[in-house]
Amino acid sequence: MQFETPSTEMLDRLLFAGTKAARLGGAMLESWRSRFTVTEKSRANLVTEADFASQKLIHEVLLAEFPEHNFLGEEDLVTKPTASPYQWVVDPLDGTSNYVHGFPYYAVSIGLEFDGELI
């Protein structure tokens, strides 16, 4: 399906929302720093309660601004597909192993697709 290219104003709104969600997700991770439990998704693939808390908050922030958008989260959170050409792609804690071991090398990663292409 062909969609009209997003306007500069829309791109500004998207960037603002994505940045806000990333900052709030990062603040959520900081608040969990000393009180999380760790489980294994698979061998050498860790997940913490902080991953889920950060993702939930990011999801809420993005969909409050853009309720019609699709959302794909690393921690098994996928919204029911809509007709929207937009899909947020989120890793709420990129660098979980570093986070778990107390190394300050981790991030919130948020990407956005428009009609199947990264923007």
- Looking at the domain assignment, is residue 64 inside a domain? yes
pLDDT: which is higher, 104 or 36? 104
- Looking at the domain assignment, is residue 3 inside a domain? no
pLDDT at 60: 97
Domain count, the chain: 1
- Looking at the domain assignment, is residue 2 inside a domain? no
pLDDT at 1: 64
- pTM equals 0.88
Q: How far apart are CA 82 and CA 69, in angstroms?
A: 7
Residue 42 burial by Cβ neighbours in a 10 Å radius (0-12, 13-18, 19+): exposed
State residue 62 phi and psi, 5-degree precision.
-70, -45
Q: Is the pLDDT of residue 112 over 90?
A: yes
**Residue 43 sits in which domain range?**
8-118
Assess contact for 48 and 96: CB atoms under 8 A: yes
Q: How far apart are CA 80 and CA 90, in angstroms?
A: 16
pLDDT at 42: 62
- Looking at the domain assignment, is residue 104 inside a domain? yes
Alpha-helical regions (H) of 66-114 = 96-100
pLDDT in tens, 52-98: 999 999 999 999 999 999 999 998 767 778 899 999 999 999 998 89
Residue 74: give its domain's CATH number: 3.30.540.10
- Looking at the domain assignment, is residue 66 inside a domain? yes
pLDDT in tens, 5-59: 999 999 999 999 999 999 999 999 999 987 777 777 666 678 889 999 999 999 9
- Looking at the domain assignment, is residue 1 inside a domain? no
- Looking at the domain assignment, is residue 56 inside a domain? yes
- Looking at the domain assignment, is residue 54 inside a domain? yes
